[in-house]
Amino acid sequence: MRIGVLFSGGKDSTYALQKAMEKEEVVCLITVISENKESYMFHTPNIDLTRMQAEAMEIPIVQERTSGVKEEELKDLEKAVLEAKSRYRIEGVVTGAIESVYQAERIQRICGKLDLWCFNPLWKKG
């Protein structure tokens, strides 16, 4: 299955990427860069390094910027996932979500809307 990985460059999304690569074909990373350092949805420390990380791993990356307004930032996530689906023909999305029901529900809703499989390999393992 062709997979896009929601990637913040942090330890959780990097580990989820590794787990995805063990079983699926990871064809791109998907990063949303939030201007809001207190974003409810997105990890923000060092997020600007994700392009260099993607280059080092030789995996294409889709990046989208968001102002980070709660709930509004989901439109930007959906736009990034839709671009990955269009450009890289992804069939599913992997996340590094561990405990946040808020994040997991919203990502699953977007994937459902776009007819994509959603998998959280680290869910409740933190």
* Residue 38: count of CB within 10 angstroms of its CB: 8
Q: Please give the pLDDT value at position 118.
A: 96
pLDDT digits (tens, 9 = 90+) for 19-28: 999 999 999 9
In CATH, the architecture of 2-119 is 3-Layer(aba) Sandwich (3.40)
Q: Which pLDDT band holds residue 126 (cuts at 50, 70, 90)? A: low
The answer to whether residue 18 scores a pLDDT higher than 70 is yes
Q: For the chain, what are the domain ranges?
A: 2-119
Residue 40 banded pLDDT, cuts 50, 70, 90: confident
